Amino acid sequence: MDAINQTTAAPQAAWGRVRRSRYVADMALKVICILFTALGAFVLGWILLMLIYEGVSALRPEVFTGTTPGPMTKGGGIANALVGSLILTFLGIVVATPIGVLAGTYLAEYGKGSKLAELIRFVNDILLAAPSILIGLFVYTLMVQPMGGYSGWAGGVALAIIAVPVIVRTTEDMLRIVPGSLREAGAALGAPLSKVITMITWRAARAGMVTGILLATARIAGETAPLLFTALNNNFWFRADLMGGVANLPVMIYQFALSPYQNWRELAWAGALVITLSILALSIVARLIFKKDTSR
């Protein structure tokens, strides 16, 4: 009992030796941090509750079966925009994954401290912080103008450029935490470095690499600005060659939310709820995969 009293009295005695001005400053900073944390949580919770309320009230079976309606019409749905978003996101991640994984592997296994690796990391950091609208303008100049119109291919490339730096950074970080003893064991068996990477290093870091790909998918799933300059939008199903405007949820939400038509605004809320829940699901899956691997 005496030992417990001594341990509880020790922090009090330590605080007693601190000058009162420092104690007051510490408490004031603690209160400020709590208040701003509560404010941030309140604002985020308010947005989420409003999204759930407006989105759920706008959901109906027709939303997932009908195409987006034209001006001054009733009903309609977001089926074409939902499928278009899935196609654009799939194109973006299919293009970005091999580039990002191979670039991250080079930085972690081959380049390391070389000047080329430092240049790649520098460019990668710029792409991570680059506004997505600039990437949309770049792809517009690179693909939309020469091809003579908007297309799903241009939209997929724009999303891929946004996803690549996320995958590169995650892949490099995951490969760097793989113990060097695993590489040494593979080299001791006479395996070339390429075999060591594909058969040992990638397998050891696969959960983290998959997590990075899922996070990149969640990152590009809700991008609007680059699609405004590349895939744009329409109220119909996409063409087989993906030429012309391709309906997608982010641009549909942007356009419908600003419209004066009630049914358009309702569809915008429904689309926002669907895309938010999709991104939330991807983030949860990524965290579960990473947590399961790190707990082994």
Predicted local confidence at residue 105, as pLDDT: 92
> Does 271 lie in the same domain as 130?
yes
Q: Give yes or no for residue 27 having a pLDDT over 80.
A: yes
> Does 164 lie in the same domain as 51?
no
- What's the number of domains the chain is made of? 2
**Rounded Cα distance, 103 and 197, in Å:** 13
> Does 253 lie in the same domain as 115?
yes
> Does 238 lie in the same domain as 120?
yes
Tell me the mean pLDDT in the region 248-266.
89
> Does 238 lie in the same domain as 170?
yes
The DSSP code sequence of 88-154 is: HHHHHHHHHHHHHHHHHHIIIIIITTSHHHHHHHHHHHHHHHS-HHHHHHHHIIIIIHHHTS-BHHH
> Does 254 lie in the same domain as 158?
yes
State the alpha helices, DSSP H only, in 177-257.
180-188, 193-196, 202-204, 206-221, 225-228, 249-257
Token pair belonging to 116: 């080329």
Q: Give yes or no for residue 247 having a pLDDT over 90.
A: no
What does the pLDDT look like over 58-113, one tens digit per residue?
888 888 888 888 877 787 889 999 999 999 999 999 999 999 999 999 998 888 87
> Does 71 lie in the same domain as 42?
no
In a domain, 14, yes or no: no
What does the pLDDT look like over 214-234, one tens digit per residue?
889 988 988 888 999 999 888
What does the pLDDT look like over 136-182, one tens digit per residue?
999 999 999 998 889 999 999 999 999 999 999 999 999 998 888 88
> Does 155 lie in the same domain as 54?
no
Burial classification of residue 153, based on how many CB atoms lie within 10 Å of its CB (0-12 exposed, 13-18 middle, 19 or more buried): buried
In a domain, 3, yes or no: no
In a domain, 267, yes or no: yes
Write out the residue range of the structural domain in which residue 178 sits: 64-291
**Rounded Cα distance, 207 and 202, in Å:** 9
Cβ–Cβ under 8 Å, residues 161 and 97: no
